[in-house]
Amino acid sequence: MDEIILNSYRDPIRLGNRGDKVTEKWISEINDFYVINIYDQIYDYGRKSIVNNKEPTEKQNMIIEKKNNMQVYTNLHQLKTHSYIIWDRTYKENEDFFINLRITSRYNIIMRIAENIVAYLLNKYEEYLNTPYTNHPTLQKQPHIDNIITSFDKRLKKDTFLVNEYAWENFCNWFKNHLIIWVIEDMQRTIGVNKINQLSTKEFNQIFFKTINNNLNNNMQFLHQFTKITNDYIEDWINNILVSLDLKDPSINKLEELLEIQTNFTGKNTLLSSLRNNISSIVIEEENILVMSNAPYQLVREAIYMNSFERSETTQWPTYKAKKRSIEGAIQIKPFAVTEETQRKEFTIINVWEQIEELSDLVVDVLDGLCSLFLLKARHHQDIVEIDIDDLLAIRGLKPKLGGNGRRGGYERKQRRQILESLTIIQNLWIHLDKVIVYKNGNRNELSFQGRTFNFKDIQHNDCVVTEQFLEGPIYYTVDRVFANFLYGSGRQVAYMPIKALRYDPYRKSWEKRLTRYLSWRWRTQARKSNYLQPHKIRTLIEVAGKQLNRQSPSRTRDRFEQALDQMLVDGIIASWHYEKWDEGIATQRGWAKTWLDATVLIEPPEAIRQRYQPIEQNRTVSYGSDAVIQGEVGIIGEQVRTTRRKCRLSLSQVAEDLEISPSYLSNIERGIHKPSLKLQNKLINWLQRQSPVM
């Protein structure tokens, strides 16, 4: 069935500065009329597809655009539209019929507003978690989304100003003012003022009728203009509703309540332990998982797989020291002890140094597994999540052995014990950072941190030691304060990593495993500037892989390096690679290895990674004159940023991350509540300039 929108044009028009006595005379001669707009029911189909599929259809893209821009009539002028003028006499002869049409029309608009509000809340949920809402097992289900929309539809009809007749009459009068004036202006341009003045009332109405019909059915520019102003009007309605229902800036707990997911995402049933035969349940998209990408996390990874812990003059514990541009400090293997008794019996210096021999890429795999499962499960950085050892085996792609009669028999005890030993090492890691550069509200800060990687808990959520009980029972854990600092607000840092990094053999494929981790981390940092083809020095890649040049036979190192990149290409981890600043003829000369180490390679990420990071890239196509921005007053910069952000279909969190400030602070700037500092003003101006196309 088609949708019918009916608008009344019967009340006097207040022209203000736009009218004069002649125009008022013309308007007074217009017979009372209604406009019926009948639209093909594309939006209902689109609403049924609000949960995105792998290949969004045109209808789904309308929903996506609507979600980003909060528009009710987005793309309305592109639908198949049939508009009819109904004179007042005809309306009165069939009043009951047309009243029903008007009510149906209002209900359709209310439903569109409900869809927009739900889309707004889903967008807020994504901003908070920095991951697509469709990763949530409940929000993947379209019937659940439809139920939420229906609930809001009922609430709008009961608890908002939309229940009042005056709201709809004001809307119709506002629409009428614009429509009649624009049609009369069109008549002035086409037939002239003098000709209009010579028309009789009947002739004037006939031409008016013909002009309005032509514009509504054939003039796409006219329809586009009307679509825009109608969008603006309805958007004001939506904003008022969000404020009145206290939905503008909901907390994460409030979001979960509104989206009806408060209990669903924390239950055991959403873990791999209940879906172990379907490991893809935690794979985000295109064989990628979500892990942390902050500098301390990457430092811990390197410390483990490089196994460069040494004795220190200041401590008895194995220590890995680091001094880099953005981070300085040390990673230690320092026993975790709940009581003095456990420290005396179970954790001695000898035991700890023996753990050094157990460090391997497997420990990093377990670390990434813990990280990915935490990001999947936790709603907040202080949450405690529940898994078991088999989950950490499943995420690495290992399959349980078959039992009798072809049934699964479970994982080998040896495999599970290896995970337990890795958990013990991870628990004993101690992070002591003297300097970490972080950004808050656009300001660069040097901070210091101390703490563990993850804290393990017992069933009462008290700190506990990793024990044999972890082999059989559930494992409870959370992030400690170091990593927690990078999991909320504008400082949140997460990246998409190919799950192959966990599934490569830790001994035979260590090159591929480590390069995959490093490149996924680099791609996340490069995404902010859309500079994926930044050259990588070969020396650096070999170092981050924890390897050294074979001095006696450097060609072996080169062959293994190239073999690793070729394998990653075959596995889809990279899209391409080739040498830069390297002449193959040098390889025939003596001492070529040194030149080769200083050469660079270009490594291109796969399209899936580019698409995941596309919203934060800076390659925009919206034109914005730099002179106008630079000369603009500080008070309007926020409005300019908001306008440009919406045209680029960017969320607050995406732009805030680019500017290195919090989304809430950016929102206050856009609304004129906060005045940005001079330094931040320059950042905002530069951001606006970067949105202009390259000429």
- Give the span between the Cα atoms of 512 and 566, in whole angstroms: 10
Mean pLDDT of the chain: 77
pLDDT band at 397 (very low <50, low <70, confident <90, very high): confident
| Confidence (pLDDT) at 442 | 62
Mean pLDDT (whole number) for 339-361: 69
- 327-333 and 429-440 beta bridge pairing: antiparallel
Which whole number is the average pLDDT over 609-625? 56
Give CA 536 to chain center in angstroms.
Answer: 28
Task: Tell me whether strands 576-580 and 319-323 are parallel, antiparallel or unpaired.
Answer: unpaired
Distance (Å, rounded) from C-alpha 301 to C-alpha 287? Answer: 21
On the question of pLDDT at 131 being above 70, the answer is: no
What is the 8-class DSSP label of residue 285?
B
Q: Determine the 3-state secondary structure of 90 from DSSP.
A: helix
Name the percent of the chain lying above pLDDT 70.
Answer: 77
Tell me the range of 209-223, 319-333, 633-647, 668-682 where mean pLDDT is highest.
319-333
- Where residue 464 falls (left for φ over 0; alpha for ψ -120 to 50; beta otherwise) is beta
Question: Which band of pLDDT confidence, cut at 50, 70 and 90, is reported for residue 16?
Answer: very low
Amino acid at 695: M
pTM of the model: 0.54
pLDDT single digits (tens) 249-281: 887 778 888 888 854 343 333 333 333 334 334
Provide the percentage of residues in the chain whose pLDDT is more than 90: 26
Phi/psi class of residue 151: alpha, beta or left (left: φ > 0; alpha: ψ in -120 to 50)? Answer: alpha
CA dist list (Å): 610 to 288, 523, 569: 12, 9, 16
Over residues 511-553, the pLDDT tens digits come to: 999 999 999 999 988 877 777 888 899 999 999 999 999 999 9
State the pLDDT at residue 464.
Answer: 92
d(CA 488, CA 129) in angstroms, rounded, equals 8
* Confidence band for 618, pLDDT divided at 50, 70 and 90: very low
Give tens-digit pLDDT for 31-60: 777 766 554 443 333 333 344 333 333 433
Fold of 620-690: 434 Repressor (Amino-terminal Domain) (1.10.260)
User: What whole-number distance in Å separates Cα of residue 249 and Cα of residue 258?
Assistant: 13
The pLDDT tens digits for 86-100 are: 776 777 777 777 777
Residue-range domain boundaries for the chain: 3-258, 268-503, 513-617, 620-690
Distance of alpha carbon 182 from alpha carbon 143, whole angstroms: 43
Q: State pLDDT tens for residues 440-452.
A: 666 778 889 999 9
| pLDDT exceeds cutoff 60 at 229 | yes
Q: What is the pLDDT of residues 20-33, one digit of tens each?
A: 555 677 877 787 77
Report the alpha-carbon distance of residue 596 to residue 434 in Å, rounded: 35
Measured between alpha carbons, how far is 558 from 567 in angstroms, rounded to an integer? 14
Task: Name which residue leads in pLDDT, 258 or 355.
Answer: 258
The number of residues making up the chain comes to 695
Q: Are 84 and 36 in contact (CB under 8 A)?
A: yes
Give 490's pLDDT tier (boundaries 50, 70, 90).
low
In this structure, the number of other CB atoms found within 10 A of the CB of residue 41 comes to 13
Q: Report the alpha-carbon distance of residue 224 to residue 221 in Å, rounded.
A: 5
User: What pLDDT is stored for residue 424 in this prediction?
Assistant: 93
Residue 84 is predicted with a pLDDT of 64
Residue bearing the bigger pLDDT, 516 or 18:
516
pLDDT tier at 102, thresholds 50, 70, 90:
confident
To which residue do tokens 């990673």 refer? 331
Pairwise CA distance, residues 561 & 541, whole Å? 9
Burial class of 637 by CB neighbour count within 10 A (0 to 12, 13 to 18, 19+): buried
The pLDDT score that the predictor gives to residue 298 is 92
Worst-scoring range by mean pLDDT, 398-402, 554-558, 581-585, 661-665? Answer: 661-665
Q: What confidence tier does 610 reach under pLDDT thresholds 50, 70, 90?
A: confident
The single residue listed with the structure tokens 């259809």 is 57
